[in-house]
Amino acid sequence: MTMPIIARDFMEAITSSDSPTARERFTLPVAERFRTALDSGSDMHWTDDDSILLAADPALADALILIALDGTLTARRVRTLAVHPLGRAARGLAAAIVDDSMNNPHAAYDPDRLRQARAILAIPLASRHRPARAAAALDTAFLDLYLGEADKAAAHAALTLRLRPGATVARTVLDSARRGVLPDRAARLAAAA
């Protein structure tokens, strides 16, 4: 199977000397539309190219999870996550969002927003493009885990492993879900439901 043209163009562009410009051109619009959909409570129109980019760029998948977890991100911070994923600022921001979401009982954690993010990811999850389905399944498994829905997290992590057998992160999510090891906030949320 040959790599789709947009994925090939993206991979060539980000391996060139001007990776931020390539990410700004290809992945930033997807991240911005995802955030806009979450903020407005509306659906997101996914194109086939969007789904393929999600599969081609793990940093975009990470950015979408972080955008879902933190509803207070400014446009500048969304840009940092999507365009400069390997930069110190993006790594620090990502770590802070994950730490807050998992450990801070006062973190801005909106389960409705996470459910909506999961619904938005249903489009690439249904894609015919196997790598796009795998990327969306893994993101969905993380959202399930944050929501305290261990059975769904296990199912989505297992789907990821069927589609991408070498996905060690999916194996970790699957093991966590099966053992009932959930982030603190998700466990409290599940207990309160």
pLDDT tens-digit map of 87-121: 777 777 777 776 666 665 555 567 888 888 898 88
Q: Is the pLDDT of residue 185 over 60?
A: no
Question: Does pTM surpass 0.75?
Answer: no
Q: What is the DSSP string of 128-188?
A: SSHHHHHHHHHHHHHHHHHTT-HHHHHHHHHHHHHHSTT-HHHHHHHHHHHHT---HHHHH
Range(s) of the domain holding residue 105: 5-192
Q: What is the pLDDT of residues 160-180, one digit of tens each?
A: 999 999 888 888 888 888 887
Q: Which of 12, 4, 55, 9 lies closest to 30, judged by CA? A: 55
- Where does the pLDDT of residue 76 fall: very low under 50, low under 70, confident under 90, or very high at 90 and above? very high
pLDDT at 192: 47
For 99, counting Cβ atoms within 10 Å of its Cβ (0-12 exposed, 13-18 middle, 19+ buried), the class is exposed
Q: How many domains are there within the chain?
A: 1
Residue 62: partners with Cβ closer than 8 Å, 6 or more residues away = 81, 85, 94
